[in-house]
Amino acid sequence: MTEDYLHFAWKNRLYENKVMIADSGERIEIIHPGYYNRDAGPDFSQGRVRIDGQLWVGNIEIHVRQSDWNVHNHGTDPAYDSIILHVVYEIDTDQLHRKNPFPTIELKAILDETRFSWYQQMINSGLNFPCQNIVGGIRHETIETWLERMLIERIERKTEELTLSQQPDDWEEIMYQQIARSLGLSVNGDPMKWLALSVPFRLATRYRDSQNQLEALLLGASGILLKEDIFEDQQWMDFRNEYQHLQRKHQIKALPYSVWKFFRLRPASFPTLRISQLAAIIAKHPLMFDQLKEANTPKAYFDFFKVEASEYWQTHYSPGKYSANVKYKLGKNMIHRILINGVFPVLFAYARWNNDEGLQSRILNDLHQLESEKNRITEHYKFAGFPMKTAGHSQGVLHLHHNYCRSKKCLNCAIGNTIISGYPAPTTDS
Ligand code: SF4
């Protein structure tokens, strides 16, 4: 038996008797199990029980064994002074260290053990995720509702990662930093954000009329431009000369070259090309945040990011090295990632700070206007019966997988609750 399963069974009243006899001989009638507390302190608050006919309202503590009370030192913790009932799987001692007396009831004889064994089998099944072979029998609405909750949790978490301890006074800068970071993907995301901090949006937009100057400014501040002289490459040397002038003028401190990763990347993902694409986005949009706040159709979002790296990179993927003529545009998948990881979290944070519920629901809706991502994880869930039509679905599934399924938190999941409470298990053709 496990304590988290006991919490689940208590919360969902998965025991046979409503009236039980405590270790003290008192008659215990459960009126309400109380409200589950995931933080420190007793497991359930505001439980309501009748003890020998007298109604009590208060905290309830749950353990596998009665002696766990002593093991956890609850007797010396004032948070546990007001326990009205102790619920255990098994009574194994009559020596409790406590300030005030309370009755203890034992669930062992009245719990359905086969349900617990079946739950154990499910989480230890070794499948891609524990309910993979069962979820197809669960009502579609239950899954959709839970996925929407997962989607909100995911976007809230991304919003928290922005670490905005106070309402920012410049949402344009934040949007610019997050777009830069998303362009770098996980490999060069942090250096791209550092670059955006070292060349703020307000400074970069001063050079938006000259892509050459803008690109020289960003490439120079990245530390890549100064890495080496390439005298035979006129454009590269022009970038360097331009940057040296701008560096003196704005006192820019370049990043060390070592922060950038090129290894194992396709040329299209090289930071040099991403920096050029960032320059193109800045050149195209004098205001990023404002425009993206107004863009609420997939087409408007995609048009916003319809840019390509500058002419120099059409014939080079590395400084000084000629390559086949390729236009490095931002592709659909890349724009998708920027929207999901950069744009929507910033807009959501803005909506939260300003209590703009309309904008919050619009962003969730916008996620359902984009196509779902396709990868190994989303394919497993789709095959098992999860809806996978929109990016809202795939984002919800990714959050569910990484935060619940992978760590087998089925007892904390609405789908898991339905499956385990509804034991025997539903079948996929019911
Ligand atoms: S956490 Fe939920 S969705 Fe994931 S395996 Fe468990 S029951 Fe299924």
Two structure tokens written together for 159: 């919003």
Two structure tokens written together for 429: 């053709």
Test site for ligand 1: of 120, 135, 423, most ligand atoms within 8 A of the Cβ: 135
d(CA 421, CA 424): 9
| Residues in contact with ligand 1 (CB, 6 Å cut-off) | 129-131, 135, 400, 404-405, 409-410, 413, 415-416, 419
Cα three-residue angle 284-285-289, rounded to 5 degrees: 150
Residue 65: name the closest of 94, 40, 43, 42 by CA: 94
According to the model, what pLDDT value does residue 425 have? 57
pTM of the model: 0.84
Atom nearest to 134 CA in ligand 1: 8
According to the model, what pLDDT value does residue 427 have? 53
Test site for ligand 1: of 413, 419, 428, most ligand atoms within 8 A of the Cβ: 413
Kindly report the protein residue whose alpha carbon is nearest to atom 6 of ligand 1: 410
Q: Domain boundaries in the chain? A: 3-111, 170-285+299-338
> From its phi and psi, is residue 240 left (phi > 0), alpha (psi between -120 and 50) or beta?
alpha
> From its phi and psi, is residue 307 left (phi > 0), alpha (psi between -120 and 50) or beta?
beta
Contact partners, residue 149, CB within 8 Å, separation at least 6: 396, 414
Kindly report the protein residue whose alpha carbon is nearest to atom 8 of ligand 1: 131
CA of 200 to the centre of ligand 1 (A): 43
Atom nearest to 404 CA in ligand 1: 1
According to the model, what pLDDT value does residue 166 have? 66
Provide the Cα torsion 162, 165, 166, 172; round to 10°: -20
DSSP 258-297: GG---TT--GGG-HHHHHHHHHHHHHH-S-SHHHHHH--S
According to the model, what pLDDT value does residue 429 have? 44
Average pLDDT along the chain, 430 residues, taken 10 residues at a time: 95 85 93 93 95 95 95 92 94 86 92 91 94 94 97 91 76 96 95 97 95 95 87 87 95 95 89 96 96 92 95 87 84 93 94 94 94 94 96 97 97 95 61
According to the model, what pLDDT value does residue 430 have? 38
Report yes or no: 213 and 238 within 8 Å, Cβ to Cβ.
Answer: no
Two structure tokens written together for 32: 């309400």
According to the model, what pLDDT value does residue 165 have? 64
